[in-house]
Structure 1
Amino acid sequence: MELRQLRVFMEVAKYKSMTKAAESLHISQPALSKSIMTLEEELGMKLLIRTNKTSDVTDAGKVVLEYAQKMNVLMDEMSTTLNDMTNLKRGQINIGLPPIIGSLFFPKVMAKFHHAYPNVELNITEYGGARVVKSVEEGEFELGVAVMPIDEQEFQVYPIVEEEMKLLVYKDHPLADRKLVDLKDLKEEEFIFYHEEFALNKIMKKHCIAAGFEPKILFKSSQWDLMTEMVAANLGVTILPDSICNRAANSDIKIINLQQEIMWSLAVITKKERYISNAGRTFLDFILKDPL
């Protein structure tokens, strides 16, 4: 068994398609099929169920995939460690960011870091907060930015931002003239929420339930600007961090403080006991020295 075979199998499992995997790896489909068949013969088990359209992973394939991913992470860590030893001025950082955080805070940070360390490559991937946490845990990213609270037994947590959440309503909404609104007064409102993969979805559901009601969710989105435009069109209400509210410059929207103090806290996270590259540690020190 070779690592190359396992990486081919991981790519097929990722795309659930021999054709797409072959395109991604820049190899011919017959060569890819032969690699998978050889791996199956060596293991004595079927790893994929092939149909005309998809290639689904079998139960045995799921076990192989799990170990292959772990081995791939270890190989990446070995390469990173060796790179640090031989060329400390160069590096690469894989960072996971929720889109809301990337668009609000990180362009300036990345620009400053690039000017200070032009030979360090920043690979940014945007996922919802919950998926960022999972991806850091699984080794896809060495650094991630996530919404608190975070399991501090599993991760090293470095707080960087804390903001208050505020209510956004249409200008002619019955609550628009209020300076302060209790969350329980929103029981009959229709909400515009983030999708489930975003931490804000879970945070706001939790607070609504604590106030005595299950929120009526009319729309879900992954884009804060679309959410604020929906409020401006009188399609519902939403609750967003203060920095987003400050960007919602629309005369059709009223921004109101909540009686309950609901905080939006961000942190950089790393998986405990995982090796962090010299470039990764440098970026972490850089952002902690000058918090967002």
Structure 2
Amino acid sequence: MELRQLNLFMEAAKHKSITKAAESVHISQPALSKSIMALEEELGMTLIIRSNKATNLTDAGNVVLEYAQKISGLLDEMTKTLNDMTDLKRGEINIGLPPFIGSLFFPKVMAKFHQAFPNIKLNITEYGGARVVKSVEEGEFELGVTVLPIDEQEFRVYPIVEEELMLVVHKDHHFAARKQVEIKELADEEFIFYHEEFSLNQILRNQFFISGGFEPKILFKSTQWDLMSEMVAANLGITILPQSICNRLLNKELKIITLRPATLWRLAVITKKDRYISNAGRTFIDFILKESL
């Protein structure tokens, strides 16, 4: 069994397609299929169910994937540890970043970091906050940025932003003339809401709406704040957005209203506890904590 075989198998599992996996690693589809078939023959088990539409893992395939990811993570840690021992001012960081957060705060921070540390490569992948947390836990990312709260027994947490969430309504909405609205008053409203892959979906739903005595009436879910705000501007429903996003809303059809009790949007960089953090990763954390986001 070779590491290359495991890496190719992980690509196939990630893309759920032999063709897409082959394109991703720049080899031919027959070569990738041959590698996986050789791995299956060595293990004596079928790992992948092949069909015209998708590639799915068998139970044995899921077990191999779990251990392959652990092996890959350990090799990455070894490489980072050895690089740090040489005290080189270079490195590579895999970062998970929700699209909402990335577009608001990070372009300038990333530019400044690159200017200060041009030999440290930042590999950024955009996922929803909930998936970022899971991927940091599983070792796909060394660092992640997500919305608090999360389980601080499992993760190191470095807070970077705290601001209020605001209610956004159409100018003709019955709340439009109000300066503030109580969360419990939203029980009968229709929401343009966050997709399930975003942490705010569960945070707002569980900690504010359900604890306030009602299940939100969700008309539409999105991963894009500009689409959410435009749907409100079309008078399809109401939404809740961070203050920094509200500051960017220029549509005159919208009204921004304070929520009471204050509903905070708190962001943090997270790492998995008991996992080695590279010198490059620690440098990035120190840098971002010093920056005013």
Equivalent residues in 2 for 1:87-166 (5 A)? 88-166=88-166
Q: Partner of 2:280 in structure 1? A: 279
Contact 1:245 1:255 in 2 (8 A): yes
Q: Partner of 1:171 in structure 2? A: 171
Provide the C-alpha distance between the structure 1 equivalents of 2:124 and 2:24, rounded to a whole number of angstroms: 19
Q: Partner of 2:260 in structure 1? A: 259
Contact 1:158 1:267 in 2 (8 A): yes
Provide the C-alpha distance between the structure 2 equivalents of 1:18 and 1:242, rounded to a whole number of angstroms: 44
Q: Partner of 1:9 in structure 2? A: 9
Contact 1:88 1:278 in 2 (8 A): no
Q: Partner of 1:222 in structure 2? A: 223
Contact 1:191 1:215 in 2 (8 A): yes
- Which runs of structure 1 show a deviation greater than 3 angstroms over 4 or more consecutive aligned residues? none
What amino acid sits opposite 1:261 in the alignment? Answer: A
What amino acid sits opposite 2:211 in the alignment? Answer: A
Q: Partner of 1:182 in structure 2? A: 182
What amino acid sits opposite 1:222 in the alignment? Answer: T
Greater CA deviation, 131-140 or 44-53?
A: 44-53
Provide the C-alpha distance between the structure 1 equivalents of 2:203 and 2:156, rounded to a whole number of angstroms: 21
Superimposed CA distance per residue, residues 63-116 of structure 1 (whole angstroms, 9 cap, x where no aligned partner): 011000110111112122222233521111111111111011111111111111
What amino acid sits opposite 1:164 in the alignment? Answer: E
What amino acid sits opposite 2:121 in the alignment? Answer: E
What amino acid sits opposite 2:122 in the alignment? Answer: L
Contact 1:98 1:128 in 2 (8 A): yes
Contact 1:92 1:123 in 2 (8 A): yes
Q: Partner of 2:50 in structure 1? A: 50
Greater CA deviation, 133-142 or 75-84?
A: 75-84
Sort the Cα spacing of 1:107 and 1:52 in 2 relative to 1 into closer, same or farther, 3 A.
Answer: closer
Provide the C-alpha distance between the structure 1 equivalents of 2:51 and 2:103, rounded to a whole number of angstroms: 41
1:191 positional shift: 0.5
Sort the Cα spacing of 1:144 and 1:189 in 2 relative to 1 into closer, same or farther, 3 A.
Answer: same
Provide the C-alpha distance between the structure 2 equivalents of 1:54 and 1:197, rounded to a whole number of angstroms: 22
Contact 1:98 1:127 in 2 (8 A): yes
1:274 positional shift: 1.1
Q: Partner of 1:29 in structure 2? A: 29
Provide the C-alpha distance between the structure 1 equivalents of 2:50 and 2:176, rounded to a whole number of angstroms: 58
Q: How many residues align?
A: 292
Aligned to 1:247, what secondary structure does the other structure show?
coil
Provide the C-alpha distance between the structure 1 equivalents of 2:134 and 2:115, rounded to a whole number of angstroms: 31
What amino acid sits opposite 2:22 in the alignment? Answer: A
Provide the C-alpha distance between the structure 2 equivalents of 1:194 and 1:90, rounded to a whole number of angstroms: 38
Q: Partner of 2:83 in structure 1? A: 83
Provide the C-alpha distance between the structure 2 equivalents of 1:17 and 1:225, rounded to a whole number of angstroms: 32
Aligned to 2:100, what secondary structure does the other structure show?
helix
Superimposed CA distance per residue, residues 200-256 of structure 1 (whole angstroms, 9 cap, x where no aligned partner): 111221211122211111111111111111111111111111111111122211111
What amino acid sits opposite 1:189 in the alignment? Answer: E
Greater CA deviation, 95-104 or 32-41?
A: 32-41
Contact 1:164 1:242 in 2 (8 A): yes
Provide the C-alpha distance between the structure 1 equivalents of 2:54 and 2:167, rounded to a whole number of angstroms: 45
Sort the Cα spacing of 1:24 and 1:290 in 2 relative to 1 into closer, same or farther, 3 A.
Answer: closer
Provide the C-alpha distance between the structure 1 equivalents of 2:116 and 2:182, rounded to a whole number of angstroms: 46
Provide the C-alpha distance between the structure 1 equivalents of 2:14 and 2:41, rounded to a whole number of angstroms: 21
Q: Which ranges of structure 2 fall in alignment gaps of 5 or more residues?
A: none
1:178 positional shift: 0.9
What amino acid sits opposite 1:234 in the alignment? Answer: N
What amino acid sits opposite 1:229 in the alignment? Answer: E
Q: Partner of 1:39 in structure 2? A: 39
Aligned to 1:105, what secondary structure does the other structure show?
helix
Provide the C-alpha distance between the structure 2 equivalents of 1:110 and 1:55, rounded to a whole number of angstroms: 36
Among the aligned pairs, what percent are the same residue?
75
Sort the Cα spacing of 1:187 and 1:32 in 2 relative to 1 into closer, same or farther, 3 A.
Answer: same
Provide the C-alpha distance between the structure 2 equivalents of 1:212 and 1:25, rounded to a whole number of angstroms: 50
Provide the C-alpha distance between the structure 2 equivalents of 1:218 and 1:114, rounded to a whole number of angstroms: 42
Provide the C-alpha distance between the structure 2 equivalents of 1:290 and 1:53, rounded to a whole number of angstroms: 47
Equivalent residues in 2 for 1:190-205 (5 A)? 190-205=190-205
